[in-house]
Chain A
Amino acid sequence: MASLKRSHALDPLAANISSKIYVRSTKSGKVQKIVREVYLRQDIPCSSRLCHSCPKNAPSSAAGKPIPFVLSEAPAGTSTFPQGHYLVPDTNAFLTAMDLFEQESAFYDVIVPQIVLEELRNRSLPLYNRLISLTKSEEKRFHVFFNEFRLETYVPRREGETVNDRNDRAVRKTVAWYAEHLAQTKAKKVPAVVMLSNDRENLRKAKEEGIHAFSMADYVKQLKDGDKLLDMIPEIEDRDDVKEKRLGGNLYPEYFSMSKMMTGVKNGLLHQGIFNVSPYNYLEGSIRVPAFPKALLILGRENINRSIDGDLVVVEVLPKDQWKEPSTQIIEEDAITKNENPDADDAEDVVSAKERKALQEEVKRAHSKTTEGHAQPTARVVGVIKRNWRQYVGHIDQSSVSQSAQQGRKQDTVFVIPMDKKIPKILLRTRQVAELLGKRILVTIDAWDRSSRHPVGHFVRNLGELETKQAETEALLLEYDVQYRPFPKTVLDCLPKEGHDWRVPQNLDDPGWKDREDLRHLNICSIDPIGCQDIDDALHSKPLPNGNFEVGVHIADVSHFVKPNNAMDTEASIRATSVYLVDKRIDMLPMLLGTDLCSLKPYVERYAFSVIWELTPDADIVSSKFTKSVIKSREAFSYEQAQLRVDDDSQQDDLTKSIRILMALSKKLKQKRLDAGALSLSSPEVKVQMESETSDPIDVKTKVLLDTMSLVEEFMLLANTSVARRIHEAFPQTAILRRHGAPPKTNFDELANQLKVKKGLDLSVESSRALADSLDRCVDPKESFFNTLIRIMATRCMMSAEYFCSGTQAYPEFRHYGLASEIYTHFTSPIRRYADLVAHRQLAAAIEYEPVHPSVRSRGKLEAVCKNINVRHRNAQLAGRASIAYYVGQALRGKATEEDGFVMKIFSNGFVVLVPRFGIESLIRLRDLAEMEPQAEFDAETYTLKTSGSREVTVELFQKVRVRVTDQKDETTGKRGVKMELVSTY
């Protein structure tokens, strides 16, 4: 019987074929044996310019051109390798010290074995993307070597070998092969091939095999200027030693095994969700899980068990006797653990004495209440599914720095206080304490062991002096994950070649005119804030013979310039939105498009996407039409200019008349919307006035609302709704829409109760209409701002609106709660929002202007896009607000003003005051009230805080108070913030 198995003895090419066999567990729970044949080749080039043999048989690109070799013929040397060297890092090196590889001073000529790239992708997608962009940059000379397909470097897995060990061996094999291969080039100076790893075991084996290998730290020490880089390296990974050494001192409970957690979650005994930290109390977290309508509380360090805000964790509900009320105390980490010593490992208990005391007070308070109904279910974290660690901006806690460290360059352990209050202090080992003190720095968290009270991280970058504009702005952008690097060349290559000279073609036969309506004759104008450069929208209106009106909204035709799936589109989809800071704008699209070619500037012809309605005088839609068009805007008004023009009766030109028509119609539209139950919500909005030359903030003004603003808004809403209907009709499964979920009633419980107790007002929340009406009723005749205050607070109880793909929700869920619209999307700002761009493409396909591109039809892709936009959008908002807050602080610097404020929130040891004039809110603690902290009595039922002793005041919720606003720099933390002092109560 002849064997059916492939016989390796007879086949001359047998050596080129290998197979990989492994077990794959799929998400659906299937377990499959996978057999892959691997075809090994010998023509994969080493890509070193020194090599003469590889270019001869290296495969060429698809275009038939030879692929250029990357690695330099004269790579840089180090003290150990004066002849020059190539680097081969392993996965672990990239995972722990990617920042180093991005340095400009070193780390050139790097060989990235394919296996490392693949492993990195599985471990961390963001790091993988960073590495890919490194391999694409020409100056860094990173080469991906396909070691898994080259005959000489392929290693089959050995019996009983873990995948990690096998991959490490593959990396070592690659190093060895390169060394051998380069030696054959007979070059004068053969560069050494050096493996970089932070894995002790891998290093040991490399030494045994006679390969050059260094730990990151040892390698960096050989570099010129290496000391500075040294801080960016995390501790060497030691698989066993550490655990044994500290076995006794574990502070935190161990995590459950992954399979135990998954079983528990499936059975409904454990719950999975995103861990959120309360902004007022760093020891209190909450987690929303699908099983319960209300969030579960997680109290105390031990229960939080090393999770950090944003982590995806699994929790277990605690027995009922451990249920608690959410704290009414403000607990800030800096205050409580201010004097901790980062060096001392005396941490026998996770909970320090001070923390424990704070907790006791909590318990006392909880027990003093007889109403047991208030206690909320609590839970403890039993495991982390996915860490959501990123890089954190912070600064070194001055009090944690020992005196000696400020001079010498010996390694010292200090605390970094992250800017984000929800992130715990990070332990940092650094040699540059003296240099980094008082600077904004970027750090990452490496690990959080059971034995360490705080997470351990390493230094990444110095952003600059605290409170300098540049450092603080960059800090903001980093903190909110805003992509602010300049657009790469690949993106700029997608721009029209004509640059600023691009014009709408004059010849109507030009392909650009195909299916485009010529609307140049219309009296179109745009109305925007002063100084707006990226003009997304323009309007026109004209009376029709039948007494109705034709109204058009014309939106910049960005989709004409940004084609799906090119580099620019990809970049825009990652950025997702433009970010507006006080003094800076981070664009989603390159300047050329955003402020020129797409922008509907006056007096020039531009491509546009137009929505044209016929409206009755009562603003009912008779018909609507969507078309690509060419327009010529007659004027670009600012809101103020437009308002003046409308109000000035002497102006009787067509343009002004057209605006008046729009104004009249918009008021009717608004009334209809309000009748349908649209909410008018509020958030404190202020504008920072800058000195024009130095752009230093000089004053803060609250924004004034003009009728023209609401004019533009109404028509944009109308356009968005019309477009939403149209694309949903064309793509019932894949239309990109925006919804605003109705908030759960429980969200308003607190506020409704507060209103009832304090003001005797009822807040009804059955529908948006009811809420709108009851918000209207929340008026304090003596205090006009009271209504706004309630609106601000109500807004905070709402869900946030989100983009979604229509197939993922049922039609009733499409509803936009705030706008009281059945269906809604974003269409009107494609220059600054990616969602609008997608909507443009879908609408273009729906009106058969262009064929449907697969990317706007694939639901999976759209869902991913929506998810990203939602996150980015939120971050952009937060960044914008933080920027305003920073500038408000700067504007107040050195000044002290007395302002009116309102009490928004009240705790047993302090309260939060909102100052409408500056749109800022700040905490006033009891101990701020007087030199000696006064005694206080807190009545949670009536939201009243009564102090006695050194100062006697009674503070109630919603109360108007007089506060002195100053800026203050906290000496221990180096943070400048707004400080409020209570002057008097009204």
Chain B
Amino acid sequence: MASQIHVNLSPAELAYLHASLSLTPPIRPDGRSPDQYRPLSAETGILPGTNGSARICFADGTEAIVGVKAEVEKTGRRWDDDTIFLEGGGDDEEGGDKEKGSTQQGGNKEWVELTVEIPGQRDDDSATVFLAQMLSEALLADGGFVERLKINRGWHWKLYLDILLISPPLSYPLPLLSLTTHLALLSTRLPRLKSEGDEDPFFDDDWAAAPYLYPRDKKARPPVTLLVMAVGNNIIFDPAKEELAVADVVLAVSVADVADRKGKGVEDEDMDVDGRKLKLLSIRTVDPPSRLTPPGVPNASNTAYGHASAGATQQKMPEARAVESEAVEGVWKAPRGGAKLAVMGALVQKVLQKGGVADEVLDALEAVDLS
């Protein structure tokens, strides 16, 4: 799916951009280093009526707001499951695992409802739907997130995430929306449960006592989706729209910190205190806009340079001609084919690496004051 951002660059400009991004080290139009994010400012708790909310502004003026609302919902049971839980708690250990298995396949995906709104676009626009799909995929990829929404065997929280881009989409908004969603989830709090076991839930009325969905003193953090592109062998993070226009490959990579996820092995405890345990949740290729850019015409076949011999058939079908023409140094030609395996490997490594980009982004968001 193409990210429909129209960049008005000539083939020559595209070729120039592509060339400078292919250098080692690449030279980006805004002078950032390949793994540097655009500066952003963020705040949380802007919507008092929500369970959690956040707002992020990128320096280029794009801005997003995310609100999270939670509702208590009854967990649907299978028709043949007529077990009634009255005495709670005690037998959780034995029953728990089986239950987990069934509910995860059951209705867990429905526990999160995510809507994306982008100004100037219909909400059923394929690009918007795709964005929403990618963002919810990150949340639902491993059952870890929905697991948190479980209250007891009969009840769960249903989360409504409303993601709003409030500026025109100047660049592909995925990273912005994902970061804002991450921040909103970080600041999300759910009322404190007072009942025990499988009783009907009953909550503390003190909002101040409501625990965070992602407790601050624990390591785990909500997933975040990073937009990464490759030009040649160079891997560039958080591409601007001009950069996207010449990308060979664009990938959306979702990672989450699963440091203290239960049942994921005891070795976590050996990790040093500051350590994260990043887990790759999903990779999706995004159809780069570069594919739709018009190709440059090499001098060899340019009639302006006297090579009129090119057949009339070719004149009529410029696309066909471009496809057929050989790559010529310095002449722009839309990229073809998928990502190279080596590039993918390097990319994943770069994301998950300690002190890597994901780490850096998570650290930055961590520092936002949650109030």
Contact = CB atoms under 8 A, between A and B. Distances in A.
Interface of A: 1, 3-5, 19, 21-25, 29-31, 33, 35, 157-163, 257-260, 262-264, 266-267, 269
Given A4-B43, A23-B210, A33-B49, A163 B72 contact: no
Contacts of A158: 208
Contacts of B49: 33, 35
Chain B interface helix/strand/loop/mixed: loop
A260 B204 contact: no
B72 A160 contact: no
B48 A157 contact: no
Contact of B207 (A25, A33, A260): A33
A265 to B, nearest CB: 10
Contact of B72 (A1, A22, A31): A31
Interface stretch (B22-30, B101-109, B188-196, B269-277): B188-196
Nearest to B50: A33
B304 interface: no
25 contacts: A1-B57, A1-B63, A3-B43, A5-B46, A21-B208, A23-B210, A25-B203, A29-B200, A31-B70, A31-B201, A33-B50, A33-B51, A33-B207, A157-B208, A160-B208, A160-B209, A162-B206, A163-B206, A257-B195, A258-B202, A259-B199, A260-B195, A260-B196, A262-B202, A263-B86
Contacts of A22: 205-207
B194 A259 contact: yes
B200 A262 contact: yes
Contacts of B50: 33
A24 B199 contact: no
B222 interface: no
Given A29-B72, A259-B200, A19 B41 contact: no
A31 B191 contact: yes
Contacts of B86: 260, 263-264, 267, 269
A255 to B, nearest CB: 14
Contact of A263 (B71, B191, B200, B205): B200
Contacts of B223: none
Nearest to B202: A259
Contacts of A23: 191, 203-207, 210
Given A4-B46, A31-B191, A21 B199 contact: no
B105 to A, nearest CB: 25
Given A23-B204, A24-B205, A157-B206, A263 B199 contact: yes
A267 B84 contact: yes
A33 B209 CA distance: 12
B200 A266 contact: yes
A33 B201 contact: no
B55 interface: yes
Given A35-B48, A262-B200, A5 B43 contact: yes
Nearest to B197: A260
A25 B43 contact: no
A30 B71 CA distance: 7
Given A29-B200, A160-B208, 17 more contacts: A1-B57, A1-B63, A19-B48, A23-B203, A23-B207, A31-B71, A31-B72, A31-B191, A31-B203, A33-B191, A35-B49, A157-B208, A258-B202, A259-B195, A259-B199, A259-B202, A262-B202
A1 B41 contact: yes
A371 to B, nearest CB: 33
Interface string B46-64: 1011110001010000010
B205 A260 contact: no
Interface of B: 41, 43, 45-46, 48-51, 55, 57, 63, 70-72, 84, 86, 88, 191, 194-196, 198-210
A168 to B, nearest CB: 15
Nearest to B209: A160
B208 A269 contact: no
A23 B86 CA distance: 26
Contacts of A30: 71-72
Nearest to A157: B208
Contacts, number: 89
Given A29-B72, A258-B202, A259-B199, A21 B207 contact: yes
A24 B49 CA distance: 12
A264 B195 CA distance: 13
Contact of A269 (B41, B84, B204): B84
9 tightest Cβ-Cβ pairs between the two chains A and B: A259-B195, A259-B202, A1-B57, A1-B41, A23-B191, A259-B199, A21-B207, A35-B48, A263-B199
Contacts of A33: 49-51, 191, 207
Nearest to B207: A21
A692 to B, nearest CB: 63
A24 B202 CA distance: 10
A262 B88 CA distance: 13
A633 B280 CA distance: 96
Contacts of B55: 1, 4
Contacts of A4: 43, 46, 55
A256 to B, nearest CB: 9
Contacts of A157: 206, 208
A161 B204 CA distance: 12
Nearest to A25: B203
Nearest to A31: B72
A257 B199 contact: yes
B209 to A, nearest CB: 6
A162 B204 CA distance: 10
A159 B192 CA distance: 13
A336 B86 CA distance: 38
Contacts of A269: 84, 86
B84 A25 contact: no
Nearest to B46: A4
Contacts of A162: 206
Contacts of A262: 199-200, 202
Instruction: Report which residue of B46, B71, B191 has the largest number of chain A beta carbons within 10 angstroms of its beta carbon.
Output: B191
A264 to B, nearest CB: 6
Nearest to B57: A1
Nearest to A262: B200
A544 to B, nearest CB: 67
A162 B208 CA distance: 10
A157 B50 CA distance: 19
A159 B84 CA distance: 37
A259 B206 contact: no
Nearest to B154: A263
Chain A CB within 10 Å — which of B46, B49, B191, B200 has the most? B200
Contacts of A25: 202-203, 205
B89 to A, nearest CB: 11
Contacts of B191: 23, 31, 33
Nearest to B74: A29
Contacts of B201: 31, 259
A30 B203 CA distance: 10
Most buried by A among B46, B63, B84, B202: B202
Contacts of A259: 194-196, 199-202
A409 to B, nearest CB: 46
A258 B199 CA distance: 10
A159 B209 CA distance: 7
Contacts of B203: 23, 25, 31
Contacts of A24: 205
B64 to A, nearest CB: 12
Nearest to A32: B71
Contacts of A160: 206, 208-209
Contacts of B88: 260
Contacts of B198: 263
B205 A163 contact: yes
Nearest to B41: A1
Given A4-B46, A30-B72, A260 B199 contact: yes
Contacts of B199: 257, 259-260, 262-263
Nearest to B210: A23
Nearest to B195: A259
A754 to B, nearest CB: 41
B201 to A, nearest CB: 7
